[in-house]
Amino acid sequence: MGEEKRTFKKKDMPIRRLHDNDEELDQAEMGGEFADLFQDSLRQPQSGEVVKAVVVQIEQDVVLVDVGYKSEGAIRIAEFIDENGELNVKVGDEVNVYFERGENIRGHMVLSKKKADSQVAWETIAAAGEGGVIEGKITGKVKGGMTVDVGVEAFLPASQVDLRPGGNMDRFVGQTYQFRILKLNRKRGNLVLSRRVLLEEEREKARTETLATLKEGDIVDGVVKNIAEYGAFVDLGGVDGLLHVTDMSWGRLGHPSEMVKVGDTLKVMVLKYDREKGKISLGLKQTVPDPWLNVGDRYKEGERVRGKVVSLTDYGAFISLEDGIEGLVHVSEMSWTRRVRHPSEILKVGEEVEAVILGVDPGNRRISLGLKQTEINPWTVIGERYPVGTKIEGQIKNITDFGVFIGIEDGIDGLVHVSDISWTRRVKHPGEMFTKGQTVQAVVLNIDVENERLSLGIKQLAADPWEEIPRKYRPGSKVKGRVTSVTDFGIFVEIEEGIEGLIHVSEISYEKVASPKDFANVGDELEAVVLNVDMVEKKIALSIKALQTAMEKAEMASYMGSQGEATSSFGDLLKEKLKKSTEE
Which pairing describes strands 499-504 and 539-543: parallel, antiparallel, or unpaired?
Answer: parallel
This prediction has a pTM of 0.44
| pLDDT above 50: residue 315 | yes
Alpha-carbon distances of 298 from 116, 288, 541, rounded to whole Å: 76, 18, 73
CB 482 within 8 A of CB 449: no
Contacts of 187 (CB under 8 A, 6+ apart): none
Closest CA to 221 of 262, 171, 282: 282
Q: What is the mean pLDDT of residues 234-244?
A: 89
- The C-alpha torsion from 319 through 321 and 323 to 326, rounded to 10°, is -40
In DSSP notation, 194-261 reads ESHHHHHHHHHHHHHHHHHH--TT-EEEEEEEEE-SSEEEEESSSSEEEEEGGGT-SS--S-GGGT--
CB 543 within 8 A of CB 475: no
Confidence bin at 30 (pLDDT 50/70/90)? low
Confidence bin at 584 (pLDDT 50/70/90)? very low
Between CA 98 and CA 109 the distance in angstroms is 10
- Mean pLDDT, the chain, whole residue set: 83
Output the pLDDT for position 5: 35
Output the pLDDT for position 2: 39
Among 20-29, 421-430, 548-557, 559-568, which range has the highest average pLDDT?
421-430
| pLDDT above 70: residue 505 | yes
Q: Per-residue pLDDT tens for 272-281?
A: 998 888 789 9
Confidence bin at 9 (pLDDT 50/70/90)? very low
Output the pLDDT for position 99: 82
Among 47-61, 103-117, 425-439, which range has the highest average pLDDT?
425-439
Between CA 373 and CA 336 the distance in angstroms is 8
Between CA 59 and CA 89 the distance in angstroms is 12
Between CA 376 and CA 352 the distance in angstroms is 20
- The C-alpha torsion from 467 through 471 and 474 to 478, rounded to 10°, is -100
Residue of 411 and 518 predicted with greater confidence:
518
**Maximum CA pair distance of the chain?**
218
CB 444 within 8 A of CB 414: yes
Closest CA to 460 of 562, 389, 368, 377: 389
Q: What is the mean pLDDT of residues 429-455?
A: 91
Q: Per-residue pLDDT tens for 133-187?
A: 999 999 999 999 999 998 888 999 999 999 877 778 888 999 999 999 999 888 8
Output the pLDDT for position 82: 78
| pLDDT above 90: residue 330 | yes
Q: What is the mean pLDDT of residues 565-577?
A: 43
Residue 121 CB: number of other CB atoms within 10 A? 19
Confidence bin at 359 (pLDDT 50/70/90)? very high
Beta bridge partners of 417: 403
Output the pLDDT for position 119: 82
- Residue 304: helix, strand or coil by DSSP? strand
CB 358 within 8 A of CB 371: no
Which pairing describes strands 316-322 and 304-312: parallel, antiparallel, or unpaired?
Answer: antiparallel
Between CA 223 and CA 261 the distance in angstroms is 10
Q: Per-residue pLDDT tens for 290-312?
A: 888 888 889 999 999 999 999 89
CA–centroid distance for 201 within its chain:
40
Output the pLDDT for position 133: 93
Residue of 106 and 194 predicted with greater confidence:
194
| pLDDT above 80: residue 24 | no
Confidence bin at 472 (pLDDT 50/70/90)? confident
Q: What is the mean pLDDT of residues 544-550?
A: 83
Q: Per-residue pLDDT tens for 69-83?
A: 777 888 888 888 877
| pLDDT above 50: residue 350 | yes
| pLDDT above 90: residue 105 | no
Q: Find the helix packing angle between 2-12 and 22-43, rounded to 10°.
A: 80
Closest CA to 51 of 111, 1, 8, 2: 111
Output the pLDDT for position 213: 81
Q: What is the mean pLDDT of residues 240-264?
A: 89
Angle at 264 between CA 260 and CA 269, to 5 degrees: 75
Between CA 578 and CA 357 the distance in angstroms is 88
